[in-house]
Amino acid sequence: MKNLLKKIIPKNAINNFRKLISFIDKSAISVFSKTKVTSSLYYLIFNKSFMREHQSVLKGRVKYYQSLEKIEDSCVLLRRNIHRLEKGLIMQPRRDVFGKAFIGETVDAFVLAVKQNALKESEGNWFNDVLSKYFEVVSSSLEIDSARKKYESVCQERKILNRAKSIPYARESIKETNISFEQLEVLYKQRRSIRWYEDKAVDISLINKAVDIATQAPSACNRQPFKFHTVMNKDKVKKVADCAMGTTGFSHNLQTIIAVVGDLSAYPAERDRHVIYIDGSLVTMQLMLALETLGLSTCAINWPDIETREKMLDELLGLNKHERTIMLLAVGYADPKGGIPFSQKKNCSDLIKVIK
């Protein structure tokens, strides 16, 4: 149909129509941007760009509440609340009573997770160790005593032991690195966006190794709302890369591609909808540096928020509505003869603004 219209309608007429639409849109946004209500009306009536995000956020909220009843291999409510207890444990000075507002729901979720036998061992150990330490130091209150009784009951029933291992620790106990600033600078400058790769398969064990240390990246309340959908079949790698656009001319030689996918079911409220992009970006930067030390080069590929492109990638990766792609990451062994853009970087004088 599009090809037929192109033959019937002169090219200059199409260009003039596009210019008219652009002029109308520029005029409309100057009017509708004046208030929050009119801005919302603009996106309701004239522009559907945020429709997918609206649905994804709501689907994420639905999935979040479902996860409180049927806990799978991880529990975001527990991850968040246990981290909140950790922060209470390290406060200076530490309060005699803290966590009272959420300890009830935390223990209820822990009990449910134990009874459903849903948690991975490492995560379950962390939850138990922190809860045990919390009840050891916190003073009495109606809410805390009720939660303590439930916690001790399930521990006795399931013979859960207090290991006291996965609990807060002092900064002085950290093993410090001997990596110098100069060595770190070499690594940062060595890691460039590589678009040309050798025809050599990437060993998934190396990606696993890099991911395991990359996840030491900070994450809001330690929820870590991301997954790394890793594609290694070359035909599918190209299809995934082509979804992003901007890969024309080099997508055919990519060996492996990782879709960094954010999970909106980690949040019960809209205010946190952008955290997937922050946390996902933090962990991906560490992943790129980790891969570089293993001899693997990378190229971060921007992901455009375009409905047709999202649908294409969702189908290729089998994503749910509450999952959104943050970025794509090409991974492989760099072609020694492959070109690299110089890409001049800004420096501190360009980027730092001292607030007085």
What pLDDT, on the 0 to 100 scale, is given for residue 4?
54
pLDDT at 1 over 60: no
pLDDT at 31 over 70: yes
DSSP assignments along 276-329, one per residue: HHHHHHHHHHHHHHHHHHTT-EEEEEE----HHHHHHHHHHHT--TTEEEEEEE
pLDDT at 305 over 80: yes
Are 330 and 194 spatial neighbours (Cβ–Cβ below 8 Å)? yes
What pLDDT, on the 0 to 100 scale, is given for residue 22?
80
Q: Which helix (H) or strand (E) holds 187?
A: helix 181-190
Q: Which residues of 80-90 are buried (b: 16+ CB within 10 A; e: fewer)?
A: bbbbbbbebbe
pLDDT at 51 over 80: yes
**Cis amide linkage into residue 225, ω under 30° from 0:** no
Are 284 and 219 spatial neighbours (Cβ–Cβ below 8 Å)? no
pLDDT more than 70, % of the chain = 97
pLDDT at 217 over 70: yes
pLDDT at 215 over 70: yes
pTM: 0.91
Query: What CA–CA distance (Å, rounded) separates 224 from 83?
Result: 12
- Of 274, 270, 233, residue with least CA distance to 255: 233
What pLDDT, on the 0 to 100 scale, is given for residue 6?
57
Tokens of 324: 């959104």
Per-residue confidence at 25, pLDDT binned at 50, 70, 90?
A: confident
C-alpha of 219 from chain center: 8
- Of 279, 271, 239, residue with least CA distance to 61: 271
Query: What CA–CA distance (Å, rounded) separates 235 from 252?
Result: 8
The predicted model gives 119-133 an average pLDDT of 94
Query: What does the pLDDT look like over 335-354, one tens digit per residue?
Result: 999 999 999 999 999 999 99
pLDDT at 137 over 90: yes
Which among 117-121, 174-178, 318-322 has the top mean pLDDT?
318-322
How confident is the prediction for the chain on average, in pLDDT?
A: 94
What pLDDT, on the 0 to 100 scale, is given for residue 17?
77
pLDDT at 304 over 60: yes
Per-residue confidence at 8, pLDDT binned at 50, 70, 90?
A: low
What pLDDT, on the 0 to 100 scale, is given for residue 73?
80
pLDDT at 145 over 80: yes
pLDDT at 11 over 80: no
The predicted model gives 59-80 an average pLDDT of 94
CA angle 83, 89, 91 (to 5 degrees): 105
